[in-house]
Amino acid sequence: MPLGQITLHVQFGTSDHFRTEFVNFVVADFDGTYQAILGRPSLTKFMAVPHYSYLVLKMPTKKGVLTVRGNVYTAYNCEEESFKITEAIDLSIRMAETATQAAQLPPDQLRLPEQETARKNSKSKEYKEVQLVEGIPEKTALIRANQDPK
């Protein structure tokens, strides 16, 4: 839900080679990796051409074409952080939904299911089961039945 709008003076380039325009931004309160996002209306205002594969933004100025280059490592880190934030938000939403659903269940349905006992392997005649630790039948290994002693 937008909190409002603000118009800011945005400049790309250096003091000797630049492009300046007023850009309207929608203000929103959410966790994200970017502080501002330029949409198509802003790119149109600057007559900018984005090259996403190269992380380059090109726009005309009075002195020729201005090229703004992005940093691959910074972009990657922002993307990675964005995924982590999205995953955390999704997880918290699912946890809240689960808690709400659990509160609506009767108490007898809130029990944890009993753990199943381990199933025995269906052994072929080519292998035999050997107990690894004496007195603990769960610790076993399968070895070939007709294995050479060497």
Is the model's pLDDT at 148 over the cut of 70? no
125-142 per-position pLDDT tens digit: 677 788 888 888 888 887
Name the band, by pLDDT with cuts 50, 70 and 90, for residue 68.
very high
Average pLDDT over residues 111-122: 68
The pLDDT of 84-106, averaged and rounded, is 85
Average pLDDT across the chain, whole number: 84
Per-residue confidence (pLDDT) for residue 93, from 0 to 100? 87
For 65, list phi and psi in degrees, rounded to 5: -85, 130
pTM over 0.75: no
pLDDT of 23-42, one tens digit each? 999 998 877 777 788 889 99
